[in-house]
């Protein structure tokens, strides 16, 4: 990294932009941060903070805490809320239904939630404030439950401790979609003179809200179903512990076995490198607890409890974490067995397993693929007249088992359904892995995997673009010895989907690769799938072995090509 420029060497335009931002920044800590950077003449750091302002991505605004428009801070929160308030007031009477404001327990979440409530109320939008740190699905639930005009959840979900975010829901309870997100961003800015009569800020009755959520969620279960299962639970230092144990007890299951080191909210996430249950090592303490306690199941929420990870005993005496696709197909089968109607629709994303399509065809229900993100999954039925979404999932551990109640991913209701599945399987002398075997035997092995390349720093965006360009403009003729039969540039739109930055390569009927930049982290992601014909029970082991070999080879070659393209971008003059 180059040394900072000497004081006074900053371009006049950049200095003026920083000083104008400081004049509007309500936080003395971030004003001091920028003042120090100005005094040091740190051009690189200031350009990093002002060059690419935060934009609505897959799940709203999300970024590192700090000063400037490219960081999460009070000025960004207040400006965005002013834009949201203007957007709502432009809808007419709808704005009077109010804005739900919720938060998790991350650094600055309480302050950002207070700013959101203050600015919205000053603009004339009533506020329903969730005073405690509570899970994201409760904010999504509250929007519908309270018939609000919109909702804001202050959270960065499973991101590192240095991050926070601002997630927006609209009146249908789902996340904001384009072009509304762009309209909110365009309307952002200082609030200016407040409303003639500021709107009220009313605390939401926490007990009543949780009770209503629990009642709606318990309706998913068989009232006379099995309940005996020993399950370990961790909220991963987040807010799931505020609701999940209570939900489980109300359902009649034995009390969860807590991972004590991770039960209390802690914004520093001290026991995990990344507070994401997908990350290697994130479940280590939960698995240690499960072995010590002789448990049958491990349940792990991410810090805002909208995702769920599950681990089960394997056939060798150890433990196996289920992938998002594996748990997704188990939950889909469960939901379809408990619902009826020819209007039923199940949905997943273009980067998730195609096994859901095979299950839907077998069950005779509608199936849809959407872009990545639950803002798309939750509305999969909107463009399909006469259909009703009963289940949706994405491979990144997100599941909607009750989309009529929570129009977003919900790791709490999913945990409850998994508990019932595990209890019933145990009562029948089997486990969830046996259920996966039966699905694969009759639908075909659908083996999925990922490769992720973190591309941080000033060079990251250029490297990301170079990798995407390499696959988009000069795609390989073959991968892992299999001919590439079709290439789709998702930026041009494909299969009726809105344009998105991604490339999909198909290798006949046997494999698929989708590459896309992450919408929440500085990562390039490659999503891989290998599919076999239905092998039957007798051929299942061999089909899995062959699929595994092809998946490994595919991952290795995709990774090599991605690294080479990124390195080429860095070394280019």
Residues involved in catalysis:
157
In 249-387, beta strands by DSSP E: 257-258, 297-301, 308-313, 319-321, 344-349, 366-370
Q: How far apart are CA 93 and CA 97, in angstroms?
A: 8
Contact 434, 312 (CB under 8 A): no
Query: Could you give phi then psi for residue 312, rounded to 5 degrees?
Result: -135, 155
CA 333 to chain centre: 22
Closest Cα partner for 76 from 147, 21, 145, 37? 21
Residue 335: strand, helix, or coil: helix
**DSSP state at residue 103:** E
Closest Cα partner for 463 from 527, 528, 522, 526? 522
Contact 206, 131 (CB under 8 A): yes
Q: What share of the chain is helix, strand, coil (3-state, %, to 5)?
A: 40, 20, 40
Q: How far apart are CA 67 and CA 46, in angstroms?
A: 9
Q: What are the Cα distances from residue 293, in Å, to 139, 282, 286, 351?
A: 34, 19, 10, 36
Q: Residue 66: is it exposed, middle or buried by C-beta count within 10 angstroms (0-12/13-18/19+)?
A: middle
Closest Cα partner for 84 from 110, 115, 107? 115
In 395-508, beta strands by DSSP E: 398-400, 446-454, 478-479, 482-483, 486-489, 503-507
Query: Could you give phi then psi for residue 104, rounded to 5 degrees?
Result: -100, -160
The helix-helix angle for 180-187 and 74-89 (nearest 10°) equals: 120
By residue count, the chain amounts to 573
């Amino acid at each position: 990294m180059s040394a900072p420029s000497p004081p006074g060497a900053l371009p006049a335009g950049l200095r003026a932009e920083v000083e104008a931002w400081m004049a509007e920044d309500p936080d003395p800590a971030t004003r001091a941060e920028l003042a120090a950077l100005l005094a040091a003449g740190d051009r690189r750091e200031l350009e990093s903070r002002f060059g690419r302002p935060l934009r609505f991505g897959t799940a709203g605004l999300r970024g590192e805490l700090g000063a400037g428009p490219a960081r999460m801070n009070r000025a960004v929160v207040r400006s965005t809320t002013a834009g949201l308030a203007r957007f709502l007031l432009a809808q007419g009477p709808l704005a009077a239904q109010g804005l739900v404001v919720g938060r998790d327990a991350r650094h600055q979440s309480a302050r950002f939630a207070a700013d959101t409530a203050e600015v919205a109320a000053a603009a004339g939008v009533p506020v329903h404030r969730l005073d405690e740190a509570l899970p994201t699905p409760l904010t999504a639930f509250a929007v519908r439950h309270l018939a609000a005009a919109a909702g804001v959840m202050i959270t960065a979900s499973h991101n590192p401790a240095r991050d926070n975010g601002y997630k927006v829901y609209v009146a249908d309870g789902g996340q904001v979609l384009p072009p509304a997100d762009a309209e909110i961003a365009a309307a952002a800015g200082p609030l200016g003179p407040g409303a003639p009569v500021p709107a009220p800020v009313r605390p939401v009755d926490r007990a009543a809200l949780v009770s209503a959520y629990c009642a709606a969620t318990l309706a998913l279960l068989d009232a006379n179903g099995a309940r005996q299962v020993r399950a370990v639970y961790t909220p991963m230092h987040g807010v799931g512990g505020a609701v999940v144990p209570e939900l489980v007890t109300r359902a009649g299951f034995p009390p969860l076995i807590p991972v004590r080191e991770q039960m209390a909210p802690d914004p520093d996430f001290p026991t995990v490198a990344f507070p994401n249950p997908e990350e290697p090592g994130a479940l280590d303490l939960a698995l240690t607890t499960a072995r010590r306690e002789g448990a049958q199941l491990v349940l792990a929420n991410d810090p805002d409890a909208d995702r769920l990870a599950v681990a089960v005993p394997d056939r060798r005496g150890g433990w196996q974490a289920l992938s998002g696709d594996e748990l997704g197909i188990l939950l889909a089968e469960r939901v379809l067995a408990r619902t009826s109607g020819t209007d039923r629709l199940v949905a997943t994303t273009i980067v998730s397993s195609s096994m859901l399509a095979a299950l839907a065809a077998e069950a005779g229900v509608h199936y849809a693929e959407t872009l990545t993100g639950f803002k798309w999954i939750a509305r999969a039925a909107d463009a399909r007249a006469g259909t009703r979404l009963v289940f949706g999932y994405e491979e990144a551990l997100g599941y909607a088992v009750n989309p009529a109640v929570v129009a977003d991913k919900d790791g709490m209701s999913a945990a409850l359904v998994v508990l019932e599945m595990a209890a019933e399987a145990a009562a029948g002398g089997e486990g969830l892995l046996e259920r996966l075997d039966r699905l694969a035997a009759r639908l075909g092995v659908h083996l999925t995997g990922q490769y992720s390349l973190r591309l941080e720093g000033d060079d990251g965006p250029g490297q990301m673009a170079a990798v995407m360009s390499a696959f988009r403009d000069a795609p390989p003729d073959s991968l892992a010895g299999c001919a590439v039969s079709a290439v789709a540039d998702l930026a041009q739109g494909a299969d009726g989907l809105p344009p998105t930055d991604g490339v999909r390569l198909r290798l006949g009927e046997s494999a698929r690769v989708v590459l896309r930049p992450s919408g929440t982290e500085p990562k390039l992601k490659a999503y891989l799938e290998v599919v076999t014909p239905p092998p039957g029970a007798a051929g299942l082991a061999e089909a899995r072995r062959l699929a595994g070999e092809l998946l490994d080879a595919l991952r290795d070659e995709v990774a090599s090509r991605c690294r080479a393209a990124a390195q080429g971008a860095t070394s280019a003059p």
